[in-house]
Amino acid sequence: MKLKKIKGMELITIGLSLIAITISVRSCSISRKALEISQQEYLDKFKNVWTGVYDKDNETIKIIPTNKNVILQKATAYYPDIISDDNWPIRPPENLLHISSPKFQIREIIADSILPETGKFKVLDTSRIPIIIESNYTLNGDNLYDTSVYMIEFMGLIKDDGSKPHVDISGIVFSHQIKENTDLKKYINNLWNNEIVKE
pLDDT of residue 40: 44
pLDDT, residue 35, reads 46
Cis amide linkage into residue 93, ω under 30° from 0: yes
pLDDT of residue 6: 52
Instruction: Report the predicted TM-score, pTM, of the whole model to 2 decimal places.
Output: 0.72
Q: How far apart are the first and last CA of the chain?
A: 81
Q: In this predicted model, what pLDDT tens digit does every residue of 10-34 receive, in sequence order?
A: 666 766 666 767 776 676 666 666 5
Q: How distant, in Å, are the alpha carbons of 10, 92, 186 from that of 192?
A: 72, 28, 10
Q: Are 70 and 133 in contact (CB under 8 A)?
A: no
Please state which of the ranges 29-38, 71-80, 81-90, 107-116 shows the lowest mean pLDDT: 29-38
Rounded CA-CA distance 115/128 in Å is: 19
Residues 94-137 have pLDDT tens digits of 999 999 889 899 888 888 887 777 777 777 777 889 999 999 99
For residues 34-42, average pLDDT? 48
d(CA 167, CA 158): 9
Residue 123's pLDDT is 78
Q: Span 78-98, mean pLDDT? A: 92
Alpha-carbon 57 to chain mean position:
27
Q: 115 and 147 in contact (C-beta within 8 Å)?
A: no
Is it the case that residue 3 has pLDDT exceeding 60? no
Mean residue pLDDT across the chain: 81
